[in-house]
Structure 1
């Protein structure tokens, strides 16, 4: 029996998924959570074989939970559910050791099949999602993403320089490079574009 934790902040969808999975002979939903913090607590307590996580949840996102599972070395594989085909999300999920990445509107039998595949040690990614990443590699360097992330939080160029131990001019150059790479007209437009792609954490 494959023991599964299910975490989704929309109660109706969570209930529907739990009901569908409980119809499978070899899958048991041993816990449900409505946010990421509750999901992580359940995973620590129940020690399930697998967690099915919504990527965008209150308190902790699915990505936050996946990263905590990896950091704490919990023996729990992860399948991420998303409505967003954002390349940055998938790249971050892969880095966190996520084994499955599916669209929420996938057929229900696709989820149960993915659970079996991931439980068996394989990786499962919706074809639509892998194509998005293939077609949209992030053009920004790690430092450019870091500068943009801090700017998105409202820090000034001077504040960012102080935080990263860089000169004001160097920070301005990183931001200018990022704006140019994204083809944006302004700093705010560049930040919005990067956020929409999921390239800023």
Structure 2
């Protein structure tokens, strides 16, 4: 079965290289390309691919928020995030979003092709070193505190966080207050920025 892929990366060279190299490694067809998160969403909705490759850092919606939107519409979608600057906190964010594939951009094309096959079959393919780092994180934040700070980075309001996380508005505020205290900041935006710098989210 041919694996139909939508590939999003703001670096044209990366997209061009993978478009040529991936089909040489397996029965893979890049059916559409995108340079931004918003464009990636449109291409996914248009082509309904078997798998989506997302660059972590893109304009108009980077990899994690874009993955959130894709997986909200189709929780079973195979999503592979590629990044040049991988951080344990980012990996945890991706996993919580439902992303099952996470690799560095220096990964060889045969490995990327194999990862796509695994994801389409319902499996998971995560860079081992990143996974170990994420598991031994020294973050003082609870999982729910990380969730509300990630929502803050995405620009969600309290009401939107409540709907997204299936929590009451009061509970969301409590988690935000706790996260602000633990990061010794003044606002939820500052707390989210601090946590991202520390690789906690």
Same fold, TM exceeding 0.5?
yes
For each residue in 1:68-100, what CA deviation from the matched residue of structure 2 results, as whole angstroms up to 9, or x when unmatched?
122112653101111223222111211221111
Q: How far apart are residue 19 of structure 1 and its match?
A: 1.1
Asked if structure 2 preserves the Cα contact closer than 8 Å seen for 1:88 and 1:138, the reply is: no
Post-superposition offset of 1:177: 3.1
Whether the 8 Å CA contact 1:86–1:197 is kept in 2: the answer is: no
The reply on whether 1:8 has 2:13 as its aligned counterpart is: no
1:138 aligns with 2:135: no
Partner of 2:94: 93
C-alpha distance in 2 between matches for 1:148 and 1:33: 24
Residue 180 of structure 2 aligns to a residue whose secondary structure is helix
Q: Any idea what SS the aligned residue of 2:102 has?
A: strand
TM-score where L is the length of structure 2: 0.75
Aligned position for 1:105: 106
**1:16 Cα deviation after fit:** 0.9
Mapped to 2, the partners of 1:148 and 1:29 lie a distance apart of 31
**1:156 paired residue number:** none
| Counterpart among 178, 190, 193 of residue 183 in structure 2 | 178
Q: CA shift at 1:173, angstroms?
A: 7.3
Counterpart of 2:22 in structure 1 is 21
Partner of 1:42: 43
Q: Are the aligned partners of 1:49 and 1:75 in contact in 2 as well (CA < 8 Å)?
A: no
Structure 1 pair 195–48 and aligned structure 2 pair: CA distance change class (3 A): same
Cα drift, residue 104 of structure 1 = 0.8
The 3 A distance-change label for structure 1 pair 9 and 175 is same
Aligned residues: 180
CA shift for structure 1 position 129: 1.0
Q: Which residue of 2 aligns with 1:195?
A: 196
